[in-house]
Homo-oligomer: A and B are copies of this chain.
Amino acid sequence: MTAYTATVTVRLKRGVLDPEAETTRRALERLGFELDGLRSMDRFEVDLEAADPAAAEERADEMAERLLANPTIHDYEVEVRER
C-alpha cells in the first residue's frame, strides 16, 4: 500500500446561484477592488492508502459522490499525488 493525498475540489455547477460568492464580491468592491467575477469552492485534501493512484482516485471519487459533493448542484474534480 502507498500513501496518497487526494485533493477533491467541489464547485457549484454553472448556473447555480452562489450568494456567498456574490456577497464576497460586493465586499471586495466596497473595499475598492475592481473585479470581473468571483467564484467560491470547497477543497478537501484526503490522506489515504491505496494499492496504486487509480485505486486512490476511485476511492476519492466515491467519497465525493457519497458525501463531499451534492451531484444535483455540484461538479467536482479529483487529483491524486503520492505523499
Q: List chain A positions with a Cβ less than 8 A from chain B.
A: 3, 9, 21, 24, 27-28, 31, 33-49, 59, 62-63, 66-68
Contacts and interface: CB of A to CB of B under 8 A. Distances in A.
A28 to B, nearest CB: 6
A40 B44 contact: yes
B42 A46 contact: no
Chain multiplicity (copies): 2
B67 A49 contact: no
Contacts of A35: 46-48
A36 B47 CA distance: 5
A43 to B, nearest CB: 5
Contacts of A38: 44-47
Contacts of A63: 28, 31, 33
